[in-house]
Every structure is written in structure tokens, then in C-alpha cells.
Amino acid sequence: MSDESHEPGDLASELRNLGENLRGLFASAWDSEDRKRLQQEIEAGVNDLTNSLRSAASDFAESEAGRQLKEDVQDLGERVRSGEVEAKVRQDLTQVLRKINQELGRAAQDWASRRPQPPEDKS
């Protein structure tokens, strides 16, 4: 027999060995100093980003635009609580739905008028 002929169990054995080798490779890569250094850099970068965003948010909150936005949001909240926004949304939504229904009705009528009429039975 040549080296090319293998027992049927050899395939399973080779696949098992491949899995073990890959596991060992991934474990080594995970435990490597390069991965740990990269993780530290990413964590430091995310911390810096968080601090920058907090600072920017604080600066914006103290600015005239930030104060105006806060007032606008409070005004919107009051209008929502009073029902003013709900009434406007309800009115606009009703108008949109009415228009859609009208257009669908026209389309259905147009479609029905284009269908060929069945031939009359001459018996």
C-alpha cells in the first residue's frame, strides 16, 4: 500500500488535530503581548473619547445654543403634555390617510375599468 491510502479514521483524526492546532494558535495570539498592548491602546482611546465627549457636552450645555435647545425641548415637552402636539399629529395623520384612501380608490376604479369584460354566453 502507498502512503496515499489512509484509514477512514484518518480524516477524523486530522480534523481533530486541526481543531487542536487552531485552538492553540488562537490561545497564543490571545495571550500575546501585541494583543494586550492593542487592547490597552483601544481602552485608552475609548477613555479619551469619553472624556472629550463629556467635555464637549458640558461646553455645549453652557453655551447659548445649548440653553436655547434646553428651552425648546422643555417647550416641546409642555406642548406634548398639554395635548397640543397630539391634536396636530392626529389632524395631519388623518389628512394623509384620507388622501391615501382617495388615491387608492381612484386606482381601484381605474384598474377595474381596464379589465376586459367576460364574453356573453350566447346559448
In a domain, 83, yes or no: yes
Residues 58, 71: one domain?
no
First-to-last alpha carbon distance for the chain, in angstroms, is 86
**Residue 7 has what pLDDT?**
66
Burial code of 45-79, b = ≥16 C-beta within 10 A, e = fewer? eeeeeeeeeeeeeeeeeeeeeeeeeeeeeeeeeee
Instruction: Convert the pLDDT of each residue in 57-98 to its tens digit.
Output: 999 999 999 999 999 999 988 888 888 888 888 999 999 999
Residues 42, 75: one domain?
no
- Residue 2 predicted with pLDDT over 80: no
Tell me, what amino acid is at 114? Answer: R
Domain that holds residue 52: 31-62
Average pLDDT of 96-118?
88
Average pLDDT of 32-55?
95
Determine phi and psi for 109, rounding to 5 degrees.
-65, -45
In a domain, 3, yes or no: no
Would you call 85 exposed, middle or buried from its count of C-beta atoms within 10 A (0-12, 13-18, 19+)? middle
**Residue 118 has what pLDDT?**
67
Tally of structural domains, the chain: 2
8 Å CB contact between 61 and 70: yes
Residues 72, 110: one domain?
yes
In a domain, 101, yes or no: yes
In a domain, 21, yes or no: no
In a domain, 94, yes or no: yes
**Residue 77 has what pLDDT?**
87
In a domain, 54, yes or no: yes
Mean pLDDT (the chain, rounded):
88
Residues 107, 86: one domain?
yes
**Residue 1 has what pLDDT?**
44
In a domain, 119, yes or no: no
In a domain, 123, yes or no: no
